[in-house]
Amino acid sequence: MEKRAKSLEQDLLQSQEDHATSERQRRAAESELAELLEEGTANKGKDLQEEKRRLEGRINSLEEELEEEQSNSEALAERLRKSTLQLEQLTAELQVERSNSAKLEASRSAVEKMNKELKIKLAEVEASARVRSKSTIQLLESKLSQLEEQLEVEGRERLALQKALRRGEKRVKEAGMQVSISIVRVAP
């Protein structure tokens, strides 16, 4: 995602450089016109007017190019802004999904640990207290069964969260690709 953002920033910088180049060309043409007008004062009527018309046409052409570059630069900046906002939103969603997945994984680990401990306790109880009543053993087996069911439910929830995480990552990737495509379309 950072690479995509840096790429968008580089595209914006390139557009700004193109804009600056067009501005320098316009100034150079105006300077050239001024120089030629100074030189042309020594020349007589017709040549001067033709050269003036030619230079004015060149200036108009450069001004049109400059306006087009400014328009393209503004459109690219707007697309970059929208893409950046979308990327930030998707990144935030992805962070939430990752956080939920991490919490679920921690919970699953705790349940697995508790399950193991209960199995060990059950084995100890069975070995040392076979004399004890069946009701105590059944109670422990019931708790174990409940925990196993809870583990299974949490396992399904973890899988669902992982699936949602993958979808979120896919959406971020697709958004990045859409930004790349839109930048390529805007670039002259």
**pLDDT of 35 above 90:** no
pLDDT value of residue 148: 92
**Cβ within 8 Å of residue 16, ≥6 positions away:** 73
With H, G, I as helix, E, B as strand and everything else as coil, classify residue 132.
Answer: coil
pTM metric for this prediction: 0.35
Q: Using CA atoms, how far apart are residues 57 and 54, in angstroms rounded to an integer?
A: 5
Q: Using CA atoms, how far apart are residues 83 and 71, in angstroms rounded to an integer?
A: 18
Q: Which amino acid is at 134?
A: K
Report pLDDT digits (tens) over 140-168.
889 999 999 999 999 999 999 999 899 98
Domain residue limits at 38: 2-186
Mean pLDDT score of the chain = 82
pLDDT value of residue 51: 79
Helix H or strand E segment including 188: none
**pLDDT of 124 above 80:** yes
Number of domains in the chain: 1
Distances (CA, A) of 58 to 69, 75, 93: 16, 26, 52
Q: Which residue has the higher pLDDT, 119 or 133?
A: 119
**pLDDT of 42 above 60:** no
Report pLDDT digits (tens) over 46-92.
676 787 888 888 888 888 888 888 888 788 888 888 888 888 888 88
Closest by Cα among 142, 138, 149, 139 to 111: 149
Q: Which residue has the higher pLDDT, 19 or 101?
A: 101
Q: Confidence class of residue 104 from pLDDT cuts 50, 70 and 90?
A: confident
Q: Which amino acid is at 137?
A: I
The two tokens of residue 130 are: 């076979």
With H, G, I as helix, E, B as strand and everything else as coil, classify residue 133.
Answer: coil
Report pLDDT digits (tens) over 173-186.
988 888 888 777 77
